Chains A and B, each alone.
Chain A
Amino acid sequence: MEIYQIYSMTSAVLFVIGMGGVFMSKHFIKKIIATIIMGGGVFLAFVSFAQRDALSFADPVPHALVITGIVVAVASAAFALALARRIFQLTGEESFTNDK
């Protein structure tokens, strides 16, 4: 069981926790945090595939992809938080009621 397999397994677990959190939790902020966790899981998966053995150099491409991925995740998380904040200001709602 090489080191990277542990990482990839944790990344899968993180992904599943994130996905579960988005669907199951009620509060907006909880859902947004869950998406960030899911993102973290995915990026960990990328990184875990970058270096399989201690000898060779780490594969730069996943690293670059992760950097880009993280920035995109940040942008969408920021937007989601702004949305949640605005909704709270306008209506005081903190979770999805099943209205229209």
Chain B
Amino acid sequence: MEAVWKVPEGGGLTAAAEALLPQSGVEHPVTAVLLNFRAYDTWLELGVILLGLLAIYAVGGIKRYPKQNEAGEDPLLRQVMLFFTPVLFLFGAFLLYFGKSGPGGAFQAGVLWGAIGILLHLGGKLVFSVIPRSLGQLLLTIGLGFFLSLGFLLLARGAAFFEYPPAYAGVLILIIETLAAISIATTLTAMFANLNQENKEETNESKPTN
């Protein structure tokens, strides 16, 4: 059995990554790989998340979120919401920024902010009934859309797809990260809202609307 499992020594890409780190615009090698060397993968990954949402819409149908004037919510839940929302937001923002030089980045921040959305949703404050429909869609697609249009822009300037000009690499990565975090958060909230909406209208067999 030993023979089967003897994984040969083969060195990874550590050295290569170390060498090119300065041109990547960020200090933390993982973020560099994630957002510069293999930006294409990450872009596709954002696409997958959006695709996941579309898939859930395909299953459950795109829902309308009626205005909620749910007064007198359970006081304990209100308190939890009031306390956690800012904390999560700040912690997310920190992770987002810290990603440049340490572990962190768009996905971690996005998840935390998504948690805020879901918390609000649970607390009766239906996020999507508050914000207008088109803004909701914009938020959903801003991460992927910006990344893609950046790529086209670079292509137009003759560079390769996602080949950031070395000078602005750091700034661009930061912008991409923030927008990605926002759209990830919105997508996760939308997923939860769509599925949650389901419980309310248990009865009517609604086909995917609009």
Contacts and interface: CB of A to CB of B under 8 A. Distances in A.
Direct contact of A and B (CB under 8 A): yes
A24 interface: no
Contacts of A64: 30, 33-34, 37-38, 41-42
A28 B198 CA distance: 19
B28 to A, nearest CB: 8
Interface residues of B, number: 32
Contact of A78 (B30, B107, B191): B191
Interface residues of A, number: 31
Among A50, A60, A63, A68, max chain B CB count under 10 A is at A60
Contacts of B77: none
A8 interface: yes
B33 to A, nearest CB: 4
B30 A82 contact: no
A67 to B, nearest CB: 6
A57 B14 contact: yes
A86 B60 contact: yes
Contacts of B198: 85, 89
B56 A58 contact: no
A65 B30 CA distance: 9
Interface string B122-157: 000000000000000000000000000000000000
Contact of A71 (B5, B59, B107): B107
29 contacts: A5-B5, A8-B7, A49-B12, A57-B29, A59-B13, A60-B17, A60-B32, A60-B33, A61-B38, A62-B12, A64-B37, A67-B30, A67-B107, A68-B34, A68-B41, A71-B48, A74-B52, A75-B48, A75-B49, A75-B51, A75-B55, A76-B52, A79-B52, A82-B55, A82-B56, A82-B59, A82-B191, A85-B198, A86-B60
Interface of B: 5, 7, 9, 12-14, 17-18, 29-30, 32-34, 37-38, 41-42, 45, 48-49, 51-52, 55-56, 59-60, 105, 107, 191, 195, 198, 202
